[in-house]
């Protein structure tokens, strides 16, 4: 296994020698800043091709002070939701010559801070923070050094571009749909209260009830943490406490999956006995059994918009931080309640 690998990479100096020119000239055709005589250019390009020379971004970074790398603080590299956003970022950044550097904050303020430090140490040219629990202050501090875009919160500060979906409206959307389907006893499974938009969704739920003239019943609100198990537990509690309900609105799809399983365990069918609505519209929701009605958060587009905004900041133009409105994807987990 102790293999002697290929020697040092081809350098610009070798190219210059092969083409019979100076390194500066090579550098010029590489960067394309200044005109170079046709004859030398072809000679250099030939040498580059023959030697299979690739300029070192490391050296380039050191010389220019830019790394062509954007740091992305995601919460978990295996998150189904942020995975899509990462993909959107990737798809926008790569064509622009930038490379995303993904690090995971794990919904932990301290870890997220370390992520940002690590990214700054790596000399990234900008930072995109996908939600997380960082304080606004920490982000403002980050923006003092680097162009910063953050999703999942509203924040106006110099050097920061924040973008957020309207989770309140999303909460209303789902609840209103259930109300219009004839449901009156709608349980709500809340998300992790420590996460930014969790309570917004609940506020939307309550607002929709109020608008429909339905009294808010706190017994119908179950705590949750955005994971499947908490959705299942919520159903258990509801049933055990003999609290009547004909529909459930879970603050995210994962909890809805858990709730579906909980209902199944109790012999309750979806949607025949209970209608179920989630939030996020994860890719898997399309193939859940039954396919889940959910408030769609276009995560891929979120990533794209975030990346474009970063590119704009980098090029000195004013970033556009506008996100599309949330929509409801109706599938088979909900049904009209016949009066």
Residue numbers at the binding site for DNA (CB under 7 A) = 8-9, 11-13, 20-25, 27-28, 30-31, 33-37, 39-41, 53-56, 58-60, 62-65
The binder of a second copy chosen from 11, 22, 30, 56 (CB under 8 A): 56
> Residue 241 CB, nearest distance to a second copy (Å)?
23
Residue 249 near residue 174, CB atoms below 8 Å: yes
> Residue 118 CB, nearest distance to DNA (Å)?
15
Cis peptide before 290 (omega within 30 of 0): yes
Neighbours of 199 (CB within 10 A): 17
Is there binding between residue 101 and a second copy (CB under 8 A)?
yes
The binder of a second copy chosen from 32, 33, 38, 78 (CB under 8 A): 78
Sequence-separated (6 or more) residues with CB below 8 Å from residue 153: 131, 136, 162, 164, 196, 197
Residue 315 near residue 258, CB atoms below 8 Å: no
CB under 5 to 8 A by kind: which of a second copy, DNA, none does 289 bind? a second copy
Residue 234 near residue 241, CB atoms below 8 Å: no
Cis peptide before 271 (omega within 30 of 0): yes
Spacing of C-alpha 62 from chain mean position: 30
The two structure tokens encoding residue 60: 């380039």
The two structure tokens encoding residue 277: 């609505």
Is there binding between residue 286 and a second copy (CB under 8 A)?
yes
Quick one: which of 65, 64, 86 has its CA closest to 74? 86
> Residue 104 CB, nearest distance to a second copy (Å)?
6
> Residue 212 CB, nearest distance to a second copy (Å)?
30
Is there binding between residue 120 and a second copy (CB under 8 A)?
yes
**Residue 163 parent element (H or E):** strand 160-163
Comparing CB distances to DNA, the nearer of 30 and 113 is 30
The binder of a second copy chosen from 34, 42, 49, 62 (CB under 8 A): 62
First to last CA, the chain: 74
The binder of a second copy chosen from 11, 61, 329, 330 (CB under 8 A): 61
Question: φ and ψ at 294, to 5 degrees?
Answer: -155, 150
CB under 5 to 8 A by kind: which of DNA, a second copy, none does 295 bind? none
Q: Which residue ranges make up the site for a second copy (CB under 8 A)?
A: 1-3, 5-6, 8-9, 54-59, 61-62, 65, 67, 76-80, 83-84, 86-87, 90, 99-104, 117-118, 120-123, 143-146, 158-159, 161, 228, 232, 254, 257-258, 260-261, 264, 284, 286-291, 313, 316, 318-319
């Amino acid at each position: 296994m102790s293999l002697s690998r290929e020697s040092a990479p081809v350098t610009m100096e070798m190219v210059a020698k092969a083409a019979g020119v100076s390194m500066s000239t090579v550098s010029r055709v590489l960067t394309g800043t200044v005109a170079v005589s046709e004859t030398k250019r072809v000679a250099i390009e030939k040498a580059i091709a023959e030697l299979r020379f690739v300029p070192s971004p490391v050296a380039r970074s050191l010389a220019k002070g830019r790394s062509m790398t954007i740091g992305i603080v995601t919460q978990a590299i295996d998150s189904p939701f942020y995975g899509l956003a990462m993909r959107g970022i990737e798809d926008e950044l790569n064509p622009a010559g930038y490379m995303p550097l993904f690090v995971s904050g794990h919904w932990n303020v301290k870890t997220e801070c370390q992520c940002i430090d690590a990214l700054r140490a790596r000399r990234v040219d900008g930072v995109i923070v996908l939600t997380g629990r960082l304080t606004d202050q920490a982000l403002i501090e980050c923006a003092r050094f680097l162009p910063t875009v953050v999703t999942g919160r509203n924040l106006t500060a110099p050097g920061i571009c924040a973008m957020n979906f309207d989770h309140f409206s999303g909460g209303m959307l789902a609840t209103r749909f259930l109300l219009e389907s004839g449901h009156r006893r709608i349980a709500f499974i809340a998300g992790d209260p420590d996460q930014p938009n969790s309570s917004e969704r609940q506020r939307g739920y309550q607002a929709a009830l109020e608008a429909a003239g339905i009294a808010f019943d706190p017994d119908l609100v179950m705590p949750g943490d955005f994971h499947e198990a908490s959705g299942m537990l919520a159903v258990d509690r509801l049933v055990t406490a003999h609290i009547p309900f004909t529909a459930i609105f879970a603050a995210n799809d994962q909890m809805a999956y858990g709730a579906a399983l909980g209902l199944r365990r109790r012999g309750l069918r979806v949607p025949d006995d209970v209608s179920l609505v989630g939030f996020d519209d994860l890719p898997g929701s399309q193939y859940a059994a039954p396919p889940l009605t959910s408030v769609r958060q276009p995560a891929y587009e979120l990533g794209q918009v975030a990346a474009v905004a970063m590119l704009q900041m980098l090029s000195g133009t004013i970033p556009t931080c506008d996100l599309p409105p949330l929509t409801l994807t109706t599938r088979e987990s909900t049904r009209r309640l016949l009066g």
